[in-house]
Amino acid sequence: MNAQRTRAIVLGGTGYGGAEMIRRLLQHPQVELVGVGSIDHLGEPVSRVHPNLEGRTQLQFQRYEPDQVAEAADVALLGLPHDVSLEVLPALLERGCRVVDMSAAFRLDDAETYRARYDRAHPRPELLPRCVYGLPELHRSRIAEATAVASPGCFATCVELALWPLAQAGLLKGEVRVVAMTGSSGAGASTLPTTHHPVRSVTLRPYAALRHVQSFEMAEQLEAAGATDLSFDFVPVSAPLGRGILAVAQLSVPEAWTEVRLRELLASTYASERFVRVPGHRDPEVGAVAGSNYAEVGVRVGAPRDGRRSAAVFGALDNLIKGGAGQAIQSMNLMLGFDEATSLEDPGHYP
């Protein structure tokens, strides 16, 4: 083992997000993946579940206790269910292990918001301030100093990147209506009648309309960025594609905010960001970002009416990478003092 490389363990490595974290860590020049945890497929090679990793690693799925993780690794990346992360993350922090968690367990800053969403108190509210919300474009400096990162949801990442510049400019007021279409990989590796791809591939279906768990983190983050009197509604749609999210947010802006001016706002906000693009010649689309850690944002604005204009703000990303595992590794890189783009700059595939 090369002592100069940071040791990492992935817990919850059999899912799609786990697969992407493993793939990225195996090509990371400054991190050594020393273990992959799971409660199933124990003793089986990682490539048995993730055939794209055939020949890339000899690691096998193992069951890890917190003491074992803390002894073997410097950082743990969690692809665990919400209720499991509620127990595992505190145990790892108590043992001095840095953590990046992809579940929703510690994403909300406010314990009362958690109670409102889940109809129960957060079991470890004292840890919420310590778990930095892991969207680097919004919280880069805090992530760099963190020992625990709560990585955002895929929908939340897409919508927040699209609307954050408007919130900062004081343009996010009153009603904001968001519809976002997502690929079947967002439902995870286990299938249900409504998520099984042969069924899903021939239909469009809304689900969890106006009550999706990620709407709470979206509203919280946008209000912290400057949104006022926010009435935020979110409707996700199951779409017939494997991966990717396209979000459309509709709102009203003052007449002075033309399409050119709003596009310039987006472009100037993200001018120095390596993973957020503002296309000038087309609207954001999933095909341009699928398989990559890049996101795209854009805007269209209607004609003036009674001193206001209707605006449609778009976001697109890969739900498994910038909306999931890639962003978790981006935050891990910041936490460890590495270049945040390490192992993440490949452009993806097209088509």
Cα Rg of the chain, angstroms: 20
Question: Which among 52, 97, 93 is positioned nearest to 106, based on CA atoms?
Answer: 93
Q: Which residues pair with 118 in a beta bridge?
A: none
131 is catalytic: no
Selected catalytic residue, list 97, 131, 154, 158 = 154
Tokens representing residue 36 in the block: 């992959």
CB 228 within 8 A of CB 284: no
Residue 56 amino acid letter: R
Question: Nearest to residue 334, comparing CAs of 117, 163, 138, 60?
Answer: 138
Say how many C-beta atoms besides its own lie within 10 A of residue 37's C-beta.
24
Of 27, 21, 91, nearest to 56 by C-alpha is 27
CA dihedral 152, 154, 158, 159 (to 10 degrees): -70
Q: Contact 349/273 with Cβ under 8 angstroms?
A: no
Q: Known catalytic residues?
A: 154
